[in-house]
DNA sequence: CATTTTGACTTGTCTATACATTAATTGAAG
DNA sequence: CTTCAATTAATGTATAGACAAGTCAAAATG
């Protein structure tokens, strides 16, 4: 780059902000958003604190109402603030105590840890579901479903045992799928969008079956994750995944609203 | 309700939409949003499907670009679609498989089931934390913390055993709190807002201590939930809660994006 | 043929304005 | 003092236009 005249540079620092903003692509809405998020997250504005009115923020940042309005609406959708007409916007009080767990994709997890992964299909059959299961998932008892049992192996060692039921009415493609490329969980995830899910996590003592499959002592504690998913009210699939208790744990890291919820939100992934 | 003249009703159905919209307060952006959400949720637009350009939606709904742009931006923030300049907007492929668990407030849970609840403080002392814990939570080893062990009893039976550490620097009020009115978890939740949390769920075999406290057989499977919370980078508290495995399960019901995530999102809670 | 430049297209941000909707406040009547 | 209606202040929705910034594809160049 060409050297600049010192006098010119000193002028630059004193320049109108608009051009610098354009170059740095730090947009005004991002600045407003970060300022407010920081005040809330730091506790400077505790839950219940009323934040400035739109016209006050307009004056503070010297911008139009649409700009601050969009920022505030976004914060409201993320659950950080609540807005009411005439009353203004207040910092939201954290609602319920919720845990978000990232259920690991076995293959992806293994790859990240630089370990080998493979799976084995132990069973694959189309059967009518039994009465208990039918009642649990809300399907007629005579309906036929695809049952797939899968072992997940990492470095050759059993990592998890998965028993899955797939509704063939909702996922007709599964009737001919052999699940050699990808295990049923991954296959389904990449194919069918789901709208509702239910998780149940339990601790059980290993019975003879789990002892044999997971190679753990009979009676040792195992973690069982049951996951049922629906699409617009139609049952899709149920998976019961059993992990060896000592070797495995479910971990979740998250923030109540905004920041950590969705890793790849919009374009301003700077927080 | 008053009966309507049949002729009038048939006219109603054929009427111009614009006036009805005004009366029913069904706003255009909501209609566009619902239309797109429905197409995605129903599978009509599978993951990867490119949705209409903004100007196409403008033409379809006869509105300005800002309106469709706001809708699409909102869907992008919710993670339903991804947008790229020039390339357009596409239906997002569901990212990771995540579980959301509602951690129950024991007292509230019991009340809902019409059962009695009480808690006992088994230990309450201020101690320097040990090295292992200090490293885990990122605090200096010599720091003093409040340790509280609590039994949660439902109908007189042991429901869960809770071992908690509270950072007195972050929560100075805890130094004099005796937790007789409310157990430490509830007390903290109503007092201190948190910004980050981490959960670990494991299955363990009951040792002698858990056998005695939870009145379960030694070796029987127990569910252990560890929860650590921070506020703006400052450690707040760590809780290890042990449940009898057979008697307890963690349940979560949720939707991937938008709908069920936050029960009281903005104003359009119609989906 | 390979590489660079140009152009066109699509989304991102922002302005300035208008009217609708809701709810807190004020004021008047009982 | 209470009750109900009118005022008013705040957010919600929408428009039309402008320019910026990526990014894909075709055209120009070596």
pLDDT in tens, A3-57: 333 333 333 333 333 333 334 578 999 999 999 999 988 778 988 899 999 999 9
Per the model's pLDDT, the better-predicted residue between B133 and B28 turns out to be: B28
- Could you tell me if B19 and B65 lie in one domain? yes
**Whole-angstrom distance, CA of residue B183 vs CA of residue B178:** 9
pLDDT at B87: 94
* A257 contacts B262? CB cut-off 8 A: yes
Q: What is the CATH number of the domain that holds A223?
A: 3.40.1410.10
Comparing CB atoms, the residue among A94, A98, A250 nearest residue B102 is A98
- Could you tell me if B125 and B233 lie in one domain? yes
- Could you tell me if B154 and B35 lie in one domain? no
Q: Tokens representing B187? A: 């007390």
Strand D nucleotides in reach of protein CB atoms, 7 A cut-off: 8-18, 20-24
**Whole-angstrom distance, CA of residue B257 vs CA of residue B74:** 11
Q: Which residue is nearest to nucleotide D25 (CA to C1')?
A: B86
pLDDT at B247: 73
- The CA distances from residue B156 to A97, A201, B113, B206, in Å, are 25, 24, 14, 20
Print the SS3 string covering B117-184.
EEEEEEEEEEEECCHHHHHHHCCCCCCEEEEEEEEEEECCEEEEEEEEEEECCCCHHHHHCCCCCCCH
Is B62 a domain residue? yes
Share of chain A above pLDDT 70, in %: 82
Domain boundary among A91, A126, A144: A91
Chain A contact for B85 (CB, 8 A cutoff):
no
Is A194 a domain residue? yes
**pLDDT exceeds 90 at position B7:** no
Domain boundary among B91, B121, B148: B91
How crowded is residue B210: how many other Cβ atoms within 10 Å of its Cβ?
22
- Could you tell me if A52 and A119 lie in one domain? no
Domain boundary among B91, B119, B142: B91
- Could you tell me if B128 and B203 lie in one domain? yes
Contacting B residues, span 9-68, partner chain A, CB-CB under 8 Å: 40-43, 46-47
| CB-CB neighbors (< 8 A) of A100 in chain B | 98-101, 199
- Could you tell me if A81 and A140 lie in one domain? no
Residues near B265 by beta carbon (within 8 Å), at least 6 away in sequence? A77, A79, B258
Residues 220-259 of A with CB under 7 A from strand C: none
Instruction: Determine the straight-line distance between the first and last CA of chain A, rounded to whole angstroms.
Output: 32
Is B86 a domain residue? yes
pLDDT at A95: 58
Chain B contact for A116 (CB, 8 A cutoff):
no
The gap between B187 CA and C18 C1' (Å) is 49
Strand, coil or helix: A168: coil
Adjacent-strand bridge partners of A202: A224
Adjacent-strand bridge partners of B147: B125, B165
Chain A contact for B96 (CB, 8 A cutoff):
yes
Is B225 a domain residue? yes
Poorest-confidence range of A194-198, A248-252, B152-156, B196-200? A248-252
**Whole-angstrom distance, CA of residue B169 vs CA of residue A242:** 41
Q: Tokens representing A217? A: 């002592």
**Whole-angstrom distance, CA of residue B63 vs CA of residue B220:** 64
A26 touches strand D (CB under 7 A): no
Q: What is the CATH number of the domain that holds B58?
A: 1.10.10.10
Is A255 a domain residue? no
Give nearest nucleotide to A267 (CA–C1'): C12
Is B260 a domain residue? no
* Percentages of chain A per state (helix, strand, coil), in multiples of 5: 30, 30, 35
**pLDDT exceeds 60 at position A203:** yes
Comparing CB atoms, the residue among A197, A245, A257 nearest residue B204 is A245
- Could you tell me if B110 and B173 lie in one domain? yes
**pLDDT exceeds 80 at position B34:** yes
The gap between B232 CA and D27 C1' (Å) is 54
**Whole-angstrom distance, CA of residue A174 vs CA of residue A35:** 50
| CB-CB neighbors (< 8 A) of A250 in chain B | 99, 199-202
The mean pLDDT of B113-122, rounded to a whole number, is: 92
Nearest-CA neighbor of B223 among B159, B153, B148?
B159
Per the model's pLDDT, the better-predicted residue between A86 and A251 turns out to be: A86
- Could you tell me if B226 and B183 lie in one domain? yes
Query: What backbone torsions phi and psi does residue A215 show, to the nearest 5 degrees?
Result: 55, 50
Is B97 a domain residue? no
Spatial contact of B146 and B174, defined as CB atoms under 8 Å apart: yes
Q: Which residue is nearest to nucleotide C14 (CA to C1')?
A: A67
B64-97: pLDDT as tens digits: 999 999 999 999 988 889 999 999 999 987 655 6
Is B10 a domain residue? yes
- Could you tell me if B111 and B51 lie in one domain? no
Comparing CB atoms, the residue among B96, B103, B232 nearest residue A102 is B96
- Could you tell me if A127 and A43 lie in one domain? no
**Whole-angstrom distance, CA of residue A73 vs CA of residue B265:** 11
B85 touches strand C (CB under 7 A): yes
This prediction has a pTM of 0.71
A63 touches strand C (CB under 7 A): yes
Contacting B residues, span 213-232, partner chain A, CB-CB under 8 Å: 219-223, 225, 227, 231-232
The residue of chain B with its CA nearest to that of A38 is B232
Domain carrying residue A65: 6-91
Strand, coil or helix: A141: coil
pLDDT at B268: 28
Calculate how close chain B gets to A72, using CA atoms only, in Å: 11
- Could you tell me if A67 and A122 lie in one domain? no
Adjacent-strand bridge partners of A226: A200, A240
Spatial contact of A124 and A147, defined as CB atoms under 8 Å apart: yes
How crowded is residue B223: how many other Cβ atoms within 10 Å of its Cβ?
27
| CB-CB neighbors (< 8 A) of B220 in chain A | 205
**pLDDT exceeds 90 at position B255:** no
Tally of structural domains, chain A: 2
pLDDT band, very low/low/confident/very high, at A255 (cuts 50, 70, 90): low
Nearest-CA neighbor of A96 among B260, B257, B166?
B260
- Could you tell me if A78 and A126 lie in one domain? no
């Amino acid at each position: 780059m060409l050297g600049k005249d010192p006098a010119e540079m000193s002028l630059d620092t004193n320049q109108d902000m608009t051009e610098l903003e354009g170059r740095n692509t730090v947009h005004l809405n991002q600045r407003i958003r970060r300022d407010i998020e920081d005040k809330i997250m730091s506790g400077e504005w505790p839950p219940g604190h009323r934040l400035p009115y739109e016209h006050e923020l307009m004056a503070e940042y010297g911008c139009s109402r649409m700009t601050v309005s969009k920022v505030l609406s976004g914060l409201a959708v993320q659950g950080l603030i609540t807005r009411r007409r005439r009353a203004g916007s207040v910092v939201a009080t954290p609602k319920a105590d919720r845990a978000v767990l990232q259920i690991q994709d076995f293959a992806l997890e293994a790859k990240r840890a630089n370990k080998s992964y493979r799976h084995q299909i132990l069973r694959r059959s189309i059967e009518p579901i039994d009465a208990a299961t039918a009642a649990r998932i809300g399907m007629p008892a005579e309906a036929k479903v695809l049952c797939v049992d899968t072992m997940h192996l990492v470095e050759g060692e059993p990592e998890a045992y998965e028993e899955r039921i797939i509704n063939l009415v909702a996922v007709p493609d599964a009737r001919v799928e052999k699940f050699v490329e990808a295990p049923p969980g991954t296959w389904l995830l990449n194919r069918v969008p789901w709208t509702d899910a239910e998780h149940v996590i339990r601790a059980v003592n290993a019975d003879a079956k789990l002892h044999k499959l997971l190679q753990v002592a009979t009676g040792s504690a195992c973690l069982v994750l049951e996951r049922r998913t629906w699409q617009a009210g139609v049952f899709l699939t149920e998976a019961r995944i059993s992990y060896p208790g000592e070797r495995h744990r479910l971990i979740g890291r998250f923030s109540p609203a905004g920041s950590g919820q969705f890793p790849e939100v919009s374009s301003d992934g700077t927080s």
